[in-house]
Amino acid sequence: MSQNFRLNTGGLINRNKPIEFKFNGKKYIGYEGDTLASALLANGIHLIGRSFKYHRPRGFFGAGVDEPNAKMQVEINGCSEPNINATEIELVNGLSASSQNCWPSVNFDIGAINNFLNRFFPAGFYYKTFMWPKSFWYRVYEPFIRKAAGLGIASLEKDKERYEHKYEYCDLLVTGSGPAGLASAYAAAKNGAKVILAEDKPRYGGTLLTDDVTIDNLSGKDWSEKIISELKEMPNVIVKNRSQVFGYYDHNMMVMFERTGDHLEKKPKYTPRQRLWYIRAKEVLLSTGSIERPIVFGNNDTPGVFLSAAAKEYMKVYGVLIGKKPIIFTNNDSGYETAIEFKKNGVNPIVLDTREDQNSELINEAKDLDIKIKFSYAVIVAHGYKKVKSATIGKLNKEKIDFENTEQIDCDSICVSGFWTPTVHLASQSGNKLKFNDSIDAFVPDKSKQNEHSLGAANGTFTLQDTLKNSFNTGSEVSKSITKKDEKIQIPNTNERRYSAHDKFWCSPLPKGKNYKRFVDFQNDVAVSDIEVALREGYRSIEHVKRYTTLGMATDQGRTSNLNGLQLVANVEKKIVPQVGHTTFRPPFTPVTIGTIVGREIGKEYMPTRKTPMHHWHEKNNAVWVDAGAWKRPRYYNRGNENLFEASKREAKNVRDHVGVCDVTTLGKIDIKGPDAAEFLNRVYTNAWLKLPVGKARYGVMLREDGIVMDDGTTTRISENHYHMTTTTAQAANVLSHLEYYLQIVWPELNVNVVSTTEQWAGAAIAGPKSRDLLAKLFPKIDVSNEALPFMGYVEGDLFGVKARIFRISFSGELAYEINVESDFGLFMWEKIIDIGEEFNIQPYGTEALSTLRIEMGHVAGPELDGRTIPYDVSLEGLVSKKKDFIGKRSLAKEAFNKADRQKIVGLVPLDRKSSIPEGSHLVENKNAKLPNPKLGHVSSSCWSVENNNPFSLAILKDGKNMIGKKLFAVSPLKNTSIEVEVMSSHYVDHEGKRVRS
Amino acid sequence: MLNIKCPYCGDRSQKEFAYGGDGTITRPKLNQEISDEEWDNFVYLRKSPRGKHIELWHHIAGCRQWFKVERDTTTHEIFRTFKPEE
């Protein structure tokens, strides 16, 4: 079969460029400029899928975003994607498509048995059937539903394509390049406004491509080409095709989806497949047009039933006949345009018009062309299973609720036109409450909530002359207020055929005794009877009816079904449509690929990676990384066949025995300057800061206003009004914001400046009994004796020509120093320390050893300062000043914080001295107690004590002060362990803190 | 995504800002006696008004200044943004 339904001439396709593609494994030929849908139709393919619930055969219905049925699994460039709308995807060489929702094939689908059982599949079927027995849900029902409801298959392969994001700002965004869009964009552009004109199709012009009209004596198509080429020449205009504006968000943030790659046979290497645009527009002009409304009749979902405008578009744009024996079923003049187009192409249609015999320009033209017209007629039911073969039609009685006579006529297609529904999705998303327009039986935008205007058909204006007039004027007015320019534009003359009034007929009645399925929503398989069932069962709100029946859900968003659904509810409820109201329109208007939403933020680019200046040295020395926020930190340095446990033990032991060096660049550093800096610190920290001398560091704890510990660290007085604060790696950003808040909002009278210097300084901690010897060699000119540089002392030094800051502070509990140099010299410093440290057996140590060292010393860190502990809980009450006020102090007086049995940090050792206690274990008195077993506390940090060579943990324990010496169980249901432990002091090593002062 | 006019930098996307909560709260002065109830009001109790609301925002990926925003909590309309001292 080769394009039997392709017209010999006409259409906007390139007949010189045939394109080969596959559908369900078979090869076909189409032309460049085809969509997958038009190419299949040219080959006479109508059966393209099975319906969602009943697995009924389905064919094409629309020609663009209006298409509810033609969702396909499509493979282009080795990339397979489900749910692609065949009416929107352009044909390219090598494209391979297949039907979804059918098994084993679209021609023979086992699920179609559902269709014959359809009285067992009423509205709410899933809710009603799969309720019991409960145990069946996971084993039987859910797998069944998943298989039955399959809408294509998502690829499990990594997406190799490239997707991009783009930000743009403009004065006017115009959505849609039909007459309204072109006119308004042109007028605004002439006024010098920065305009973006977005068209979702590959071709500009919208209905101008298919309507028989002239503008200034040019055909609609020629006029649109002229305007577009002028707009493209203007530097203040961006014109984009294949670009769907799908979301309208706050403050005129518009989101657009551009298909940049799929239509290219050979995509250049750096061209993305798709691009997401974030557009902030001062004004938005919605020229989204309208979508033709179906008329509902029996078996109206049979392949071969089309929207009448779609049939016309297939002829005029693609040179394709959707049938050779069509019935046009219409309630308005639009159907006649399709009939006339058929006639011009040598096909004899029959028009069934639900209105009484009448005249209009179009009807008369059709009559003159000898087109057979039957007035007061309607299609009752289509016959044919996989394709329309004939139809039973009938003459409507006066009330149009029954038929005077019926007859069966042969046909191969039925084109329906039930008048037009403005595409108000974006307007509704903007917050615009819609209003019902009686004269067109549809909702149109009402008062704008954001800076938006709807134009043309999207606003219910269906004549070209009015559309152009309003659009030129609005484009001009809106842009004038932005650019202050007012270029006068002559509104062009138009020639179009005037319509006579449409008929409100929307659904064919059922003849007595007949029970044909009449579909309202094709995509979700919702028939008239389903909605009636929902209403009978008491669903009243249209939002409930929608969810119970699935009417207007999924990718279709009710584009063709919405109003007929509302009309039906209104009829049954004896209301009018505006009383029923409409469901909420939500973005996206059309489906958007996940790849586009994600953009380049995948893999390594998911978030920034922060590396210290010594990163490459760590890498070369077999560092195994751990993420600390965005930072990469060495967890341990691998030697030979060591595992984490062995390596961290070795590293920690080496610190206790000799000396180790740790990269502490990631600690937060904040530079604090100003005459009130001391006063400020005194308010921020719980302890006293006014008397800290220059050249001294002090450990401090800061609280939130609710009394909970926020962070801890040391701050050093560099000079009279200059301090260097350190924070934990995790809290660095929060602490800076916290300080800025108090300085800018609470105490603006304090003259203090704070700035982050985390990335300006590289830091190395050298720790261990040999660290002083090492320091002396690094800074031969400085007296590093305990007297000259005591614990918590600070000096500045010269590290082989590099200015360095030396702090005698310790996290490991050993004699230790921290050296800071400017980041550029970080690696230099590190290599010097490693070189010179060699004679003292220096080894680098990672965060795992660091944790071991601090845990066995009983130093608290993140796991203890977990946002639930007050200073008392973590044995920091000695740092809480009784004399002065500070942030959060008042909260410490709360009753709950002062209970005698308040939780407290303790140490734990397993009785067997062997079993490691999982972090997060619960502490209980009796491991066999009945549930819920009263929890006394939890294990916060665990390590293998290198000092005592057995496991040791820190825990937060209720009444911990009085629990020392008691035996408890540490129970971890996750690890399935229950370990008997002894409670002891949290300071397991060097109780008195002698080493740091040695 | 909101468009917020930082009083120091001008119009910027919401992405650059962090929300800072109710902008009408005044911290009690230091070193003064204060009842449990007053303190709890300050620390915990916040109104959640429908409609106009003055709130704090922090230009965290910009000038790092805290400032105030008068915003409608239902429509997200921003009426004005201003420096804390204004």
B81: domain CATH number is: 3.30.2270.10
Q: Do the Cβ atoms of A285 and A173 come closer than 8 Å?
A: yes
Hey, which CATH number is domain A294-418, 1.10.3720.10, 3.30.1330.80, 3.20.20.210, 3.50.50.60? 3.50.50.60
Q: Do the Cβ atoms of A291 and A301 come closer than 8 Å?
A: no
Q: Do the Cβ atoms of A723 and A805 come closer than 8 Å?
A: no
Residue A280 touches partner B, C-beta closer than 8 Å: yes
Which among B2, B64, B74 is the top mutation candidate for probing chain A, defined by the most A β-carbons within 10 Å of its own β-carbon?
Answer: B64
Residue A169 touches partner B, C-beta closer than 8 Å: no
Q: Do the Cβ atoms of A30 and A44 come closer than 8 Å?
A: no
Quote the mean pLDDT of chain B.
Answer: 96
Shortest Cα–Cα distance, B36 to chain A (Å) = 8
Q: What is the DSSP string of A469-511?
A: HHHHHHHHHHHHHHH------PPPPEE-PPPPPP----BPPPP
Q: Which residue has the higher pLDDT, A874 or A142?
A: A874
Say yes or no to pLDDT of A418 above 80.
yes
How far is residue A625's CA from residue A500's CA, in Å, rounded to a whole number? 75
Q: In the structure, what pLDDT confidence band is assigned to residue A584 with cuts at 50, 70 and 90? A: confident
Say yes or no to pLDDT of A151 above 90.
no
Mean pLDDT for A21-25 is 95
Residue B34 touches partner A, C-beta closer than 8 Å: yes
Cβ contact, residue pair A740, B30, below 8 Å: no
Mean pLDDT for A585-600 is 92
Output the CA torsion sign for A459, A462, A466, A469.
positive
Tokens encoding A93: 């060489």
Quote the mean pLDDT of chain A.
Answer: 94
Task: Give pLDDT, residue A845.
Answer: 98
Of all residues in chain A, the percent with pLDDT exceeding 70 is 95
Chain B residues touching A280 at Cβ < 8 A: 3, 13
Closest CA to A684 of A729, A728, A741: A741
Residue B34 within any structural domain of the chain: no
Residue B62 touches partner A, C-beta closer than 8 Å: no
User: Which amino acid, residue A329?
Assistant: F
Of A132-141, A385-394, A421-430, A941-950, the one with minimum mean pLDDT is A132-141
Mean pLDDT for A409-437 is 96
Cβ contact, residue pair B13, A280, below 8 Å: yes
Closest CA to A323 of A337, A340, A335, A306: A306
Residue B35 touches partner A, C-beta closer than 8 Å: no
Cβ contact, residue pair A745, B66, below 8 Å: yes
Residue B85 touches partner A, C-beta closer than 8 Å: yes
Cβ contact, residue pair B66, A740, below 8 Å: yes
CB count in 10 Å sphere of residue B27: 14
> A509-606 sits in which CATH class?
mainly alpha
The DSSP secondary-structure symbol of A155 reads -
Task: Give pLDDT, residue A2.
Answer: 77
Closest-CA residue of chain B to A894: B36
Q: Is the peptide bond before A634 cis (omega within 30 degrees of 0)?
A: no
Query: Which residue among B36, B60, B75 sits closest to A431, beta carbon to beta carbon?
Result: B75
Task: Give pLDDT, residue A129.
Answer: 59
Say yes or no to pLDDT of A150 above 70.
no
CB count in 10 Å sphere of residue A696: 16
Chain B residues touching A885 at Cβ < 8 A: 30-31
CB-based contacts of A376: which residues, under 8 Å, 6+ apart?
A353, A354, A355, A356, A357, A395, A396
Closest CA to A794 of A715, A695, A873: A695
Task: Give pLDDT, residue A583.
Answer: 85
Q: What is the pLDDT of residues A310-365, one digit of tens each?
A: 999 999 999 999 999 999 999 999 999 999 999 999 999 999 999 999 999 999 99
Q: In the structure, what pLDDT confidence band is assigned to residue A731 with cuts at 50, 70 and 90? A: very high
Closest CA to A47 of A350, A345, A389, A349: A389
The DSSP secondary-structure symbol of A518 reads B
What is the maximal distance between C-alpha atoms in chain A?
Answer: 115
The DSSP secondary-structure symbol of A862 reads T
Alpha helices in chain B (DSSP H): 36-43
Superfamily of domain A628-666+758-845: Probable tRNA modification gtpase trme; domain 1 (3.30.1360.120)
Task: Give pLDDT, residue A266.
Answer: 87
A670-757 carries CATH number 1.20.950.20: no
The DSSP secondary-structure symbol of A934 reads P
Cβ contact, residue pair A249, B56, below 8 Å: no
First to last CA, chain A: 94
Task: Give pLDDT, residue A157.
Answer: 84
Q: Do the Cβ atoms of A837 and A875 come closer than 8 Å?
A: no
Mean pLDDT for A159-172 is 94
Mean pLDDT for A665-686 is 98
Tokens encoding B60: 């965290």
Interface of A with B in 691-730 (CB under 8 A): 705-706
Which among A165, A166, A249, A250 is the top mutation candidate for probing chain B, defined by the most B β-carbons within 10 Å of its own β-carbon?
Answer: A250
Cβ contact, residue pair A251, B66, below 8 Å: no
Shortest Cα–Cα distance, B53 to chain A (Å) = 17
Cβ contact, residue pair A744, B18, below 8 Å: no
User: Which amino acid, residue A757?
Assistant: T
Distance of CA A938 to the CA centre of its chain: 37
Q: In the structure, what pLDDT confidence band is assigned to residue A154 with cuts at 50, 70 and 90? A: confident
Task: Give pLDDT, residue A553.
Answer: 83
Cβ contact, residue pair B3, A253, below 8 Å: yes
With b for 16 or more beta-carbon neighbours within 10 A and e for fewer, the A384-397 pattern comes to bebbbebbbbbebe
Say yes or no to pLDDT of A293 above 50.
yes
Cβ contact, residue pair A250, B76, below 8 Å: yes
Say yes or no to pLDDT of A693 above 70.
yes
Shortest Cα–Cα distance, A746 to chain B (Å) = 7
Of all residues in chain A, the percent with pLDDT exceeding 90 is 86
Alpha helices in A685-768 (DSSP H): 732-741
How far is residue A822's CA from residue A463's CA, in Å, rounded to a whole number? 71
Q: Is the peptide bond before A675 cis (omega within 30 degrees of 0)?
A: no
Residue B82 within any structural domain of the chain: yes
Cβ contact, residue pair A251, B3, below 8 Å: yes
How far is residue A115's CA from residue A129's CA, in Å, rounded to a whole number? 17
Residue A894 touches partner B, C-beta closer than 8 Å: yes
How far is residue A466's CA from residue A827's CA, in Å, rounded to a whole number? 72
Chain B residues touching A431 at Cβ < 8 A: 75
Q: In the structure, what pLDDT confidence band is assigned to residue A1 with cuts at 50, 70 and 90? A: very low
Measured in degrees and rounded to the nearest 5, phi and psi for residue A506 equal -130, -10
Q: What is the pLDDT of residues A899-911, one digit of tens each?
A: 999 999 999 999 9
Identify the residue whose tokens are 């107690």: A929
Tokens encoding A839: 């004679």
Number of domains comprising chain B:
1
Cβ contact, residue pair A744, B84, below 8 Å: yes
Measured in degrees and rounded to the nearest 5, phi and psi for residue A570 equal -60, -45
Residue A608 touches partner B, C-beta closer than 8 Å: no
The DSSP secondary-structure symbol of A391 reads E
Chain A residues touching B34 at Cβ < 8 A: 890
Task: Give pLDDT, residue A104.
Answer: 66
Say yes or no to pLDDT of A619 above 90.
yes
Cβ contact, residue pair B2, A705, below 8 Å: no
Chain A residues touching B85 at Cβ < 8 A: 748
Chain B residues touching A278 at Cβ < 8 A: 1
Closest CA to A407 of A395, A416, A397: A395
Chain A residues touching B20 at Cβ < 8 A: 741
Superfamily of domain A897-997: Aminomethyltransferase beta-barrel domains (2.40.30.110)
Say yes or no to pLDDT of B62 above 70.
yes
Mean pLDDT for A659-685 is 98
Superfamily of domain A163-290+422-495: FAD/NAD(P)-binding domain (3.50.50.60)
Instruction: Print the domain residue range for B69.
Output: 1-25+48-86
CB-based contacts of A237: which residues, under 8 Å, 6+ apart?
A185, A189, A194, A195, A196, A197, A231
Distance of CA A571 to the CA centre of its chain: 39
Cβ contact, residue pair A250, B1, below 8 Å: yes
Closest-CA residue of chain B to A891: B39
Say yes or no to pLDDT of A557 above 90.
no
Measured in degrees and rounded to the nearest 5, phi and psi for residue A797 equal -145, 180
Architecture of the A1-156 domain: Roll (3.10)
Tokens encoding A265: 């046979």
Chain A residues touching B18 at Cβ < 8 A: 737
Residue A788 touches partner B, C-beta closer than 8 Å: no
Query: What does pTM read for this prediction?
Result: 0.90
Q: What is the pLDDT of residues A785-822, one digit of tens each?
A: 999 999 999 999 999 999 999 999 999 999 999 999 99
Domain boundaries, chain A: 1-156, 163-290+422-495, 294-418, 509-606, 628-666+758-845, 670-757, 897-997
Residue A741 touches partner B, C-beta closer than 8 Å: yes
How far is residue A549's CA from residue A534's CA, in Å, rounded to a whole number? 7
With b for 16 or more beta-carbon neighbours within 10 A and e for fewer, the A921-944 pattern comes to bbbbeeeeeeeeeeebbbbbbbbb
Residue B36 within any structural domain of the chain: no
Measured in degrees and rounded to the nearest 5, phi and psi for residue A653 equal -60, -40
Closest CA to A662 of A863, A793, A825, A851: A851
Q: In the structure, what pLDDT confidence band is assigned to residue A769 with cuts at 50, 70 and 90? A: very high
Give the burial class of B44: count Cβ atoms within 10 A of its Cβ; 0-12 exposed, 13-18 middle, 19 or more buried: exposed
Shortest Cα–Cα distance, A253 to chain B (Å) = 6
Chain A residues touching B27 at Cβ < 8 A: 705, 746
User: Which amino acid, residue A887?
Assistant: I
Question: What is the count of residue pairs from A and B with beta carbons less than 8 Å apart?
Answer: 55
Task: Give pLDDT, residue A556.
Answer: 83
- Give the start-end residues of each E strand in A516-630: 519-521, 526-527, 623-628
**Do A163-290+422-495 and A294-418 agree at the fold level?**
yes
Cβ contact, residue pair A891, B60, below 8 Å: no
